Amino acid sequence: MKMPAMEAAVKILEDEGVEVIFGIPGAGILPFYKALANSKRIKHYTVRHEEGGVHAADGYARASGKVGVCVGTSGPAGTNMVTGLYAAKVDAVPIVAITGQNVRAQLGKDAFQATEIAEIVKPITKKSWCVMEPSHIPMIFREAFRIAREGRPGPVLIDLPLDVQRTEIEYDPEGDRSLEVFKPRPSWRQIRKAVDMILAAERPVFLLGGGVIIADATREFIELAEFLQVPIVTSLMGKGGVPADHPLYAGQVGVICNTPLGNKVFLESDLVFAVGCRFSDRHTGDLEVYRRGRKFIHVDIEPTQIGRIFSPDLRIVGDAKITLQMMLEEVKRRAEEVSPNPGHSILLSIVQQRKSSQWVKSIPELRVKMARKMDYEQIPIKPQRVMKEINEFFPKDTIFVTTIGLNQIWSSQMQEIFYPRHYLVPGGAGPLGWDLPAAIGAKIARPDKLVVAVTGDYGFGFCCEEFAVACQYNIPFIIIIINNGYLSLIRQQEKYLYNFEFAVDIWYDGQMADFVKFAEAFGAAGRRVTRIEEIKETFKWAVEYSETNRRPAVVDIIVDRYADASMGTALDKVIERE
């Protein structure tokens, strides 16, 4: 049947399960918006900047596990999306971005807002199209969702010339459906070898990466670790994949976002079973130290991720959930095999030895003993004390959102997270400003959850215009600003790496930005905190205010300007700082 091309596109979006779109209408995308206006199933949120729109779609996707969708017009709208698409690509977040474009006849002629956005974003998306043939729209939209979801998820972009949007095409919704997503399975030979290596190791450790959370495989991961009695550590992107109080959880591994026990257990291991981990530089640090004395089994859904940083001893290409289910099947089968001692399998004998060993038994005690100091009493407030107050006040099922800066490092090192998809952070790109729009997306995705953004005073200014979106659409969440008047991560590096300080102080004439007045200007509210005893009562106020008024609440906490975060260049050279 004949129908407007953009009506067909919107029908496909609906059929793919899209319920939310973040975007900004413009002249180059209005035919799409005309069709979208008639949708009864998709709600549109008008953002204030296209970068914020991608970050909101990103937060929505991370919190929900669904595909995030964002839309912009031609020219600068697409180029404004670049940072958001890059962040999503590095962290494997499925996003479909749609942009308008000048008419086909004007392409290549420097016409108004006729930039080749599909070419620009090729390195930072899984796939991009400039649709030159209207009849290809259904095929491209279906393929876009398949590619965004399949394998290692990621962003795609569809660029729609204005004359293509205005056409009619033949399209029958009844004869169309979502494309199947392929999930690779490892061989049983690989599974058996992995189990053999884990059982043969004296001190194996399981490394939970972000890919386990993406695959919704945390339950299987934990069950396998429990069955074999193997300690668990996480990467930054895996934070929350195992409850912070689980008896096998040793903590995070890294040279930046780490815990002392996490690094200790990792360095004492002789085999690492790593699932969905990309071995980034802020995780590994010095590779010689990271690899020394241990074997690696690397499981990943994307073949090109395995061996990119170093060659593991065993490569397994497979969907994390399927692979872990097969591992569980294999170990349970072996548990039933009888050894020369009647009634005892070889596997269960090994597991029992591990369970009673100090390597496993001491984890809960050491986790408390080795935790970084947070109970500071001095004024100005130590940022570490803020993290203590956050841990004690907010419920376990709170969704936290944060991004780059010392605020993120303190948060990742000290905050306790208990559930997957409850700690959202752009670990690969780390764009300032990501957290505010991402928190909006997360709250829209999970309206039943309390959402809290932990940000810095400088980073807050990057996408602060999106605060208006939360106020306009009655999206309640809490923003905690760790306010030290500095580009503090850069100040710390200047101090310790180069012995100077320049261009990092952002307070002026003894003044600072008034984030309370900022919140009020948009129709919300905020409070400034300068004393420890005010923190919890202000958190309580923020929760009550945001839930009652359906607005975001700002908590501006003035902290010690010169507090530093612990970090280093190698896992055995992390310098503890206060």
Q: Which sequence spans correspond to the domains of the chain?
A: 2-175, 188-369, 383-575
Dihedral, 373, 374, 376, 381 alpha carbons, nearest 10: 140
Q: Which H or E run includes 37?
A: helix 30-37
Buried b (16+ CB within 10 A) or exposed e, 317-329: bbbbbbbbbbbbe
383-575 CATH, one of 3.40.50.970, 2.60.40.420, 3.40.570.10, 3.30.565.10: 3.40.50.970
pLDDT at 338: 59
pLDDT at 340: 53
- The mean pLDDT of 502-529, rounded to a whole number, is 93
Q: Please name every residue paired with 45 in a beta bridge, in sequence order, or none if there are none.
A: 22
pLDDT at 213: 97
Would the pLDDT of 342 be above 60?
Answer: no
Would the pLDDT of 385 be above 80?
Answer: yes
188-369 CATH, one of 3.20.20.70, 1.10.10.10, 3.40.50.2300, 3.40.50.1220: 3.40.50.1220
Q: State how far the Cα of 513 lies from the Cα of 326, in Å rounded to an integer.
A: 55
Would the pLDDT of 102 be above 70?
Answer: yes
β-strands 168-170, 2-4: how paired? antiparallel
- Same-fold call for 2-175 versus 383-575: yes
Q: Where are the beta strands (DSSP E) in 302-446?
A: 314-317, 399-402, 423-424
Q: Give residue 232's pLDDT band: very low, low, confident or very high (50, 70, 90).
A: very high
Contact 394, 204 (CB under 8 A): no
Q: For 470-486, what is each residue's pLDDT tens digit?
A: 999 999 999 999 999 99
Distances (CA, A) of 147 to 33, 94, 140, 470, 503: 24, 9, 10, 31, 43
pLDDT at 355: 85
The backbone torsions φ and ψ at residue 407, rounded to the nearest 5 degrees and listed phi first, read -55, -40
Q: Give residue 389's pLDDT band: very low, low, confident or very high (50, 70, 90).
A: very high
- The mean pLDDT of 126-133, rounded to a whole number, is 97
Return the DSSP state at 372.
P
pLDDT at 339: 56
Q: Is the pTM of this model over 0.75?
A: yes
DSSP characters over 245-272: T-TTEEEE--SSS--HHHHHHHHH-SEE
Q: Which residues fall within 8 angstroms of residue 118, CB to CB, at 6 or more apart?
A: 128, 129, 130, 157, 159
Tell me the percentage of the chain whose pLDDT exceeds 90: 91
Q: For 142-160, what is each residue's pLDDT tens digit?
A: 999 999 999 999 999 999 9
Q: State how far the Cα of 446 lies from the Cα of 63, in Å rounded to an integer.
A: 7
- The mean pLDDT of 192-219, rounded to a whole number, is 96
pLDDT at 1: 86
Q: State how far the Cα of 420 lies from the Cα of 412, in Å rounded to an integer.
A: 14
Q: State how far the Cα of 80 lies from the Cα of 85, in Å rounded to an integer.
A: 10
pLDDT at 344: 58
Would the pLDDT of 49 be above 80?
Answer: yes
pLDDT at 349: 86
- The mean pLDDT of 60-72, rounded to a whole number, is 98
Would the pLDDT of 352 be above 90?
Answer: no
CATH topology of domain 2-175: Rossmann fold (3.40.50)
pLDDT at 295: 98
Would the pLDDT of 343 be above 60?
Answer: no
Average of per-residue pLDDT values in the chain: 95
SS (H, E, C) 419-441: CCCCEECCCCCCCCCCHHHHHHH
Contact 38, 418 (CB under 8 A): no
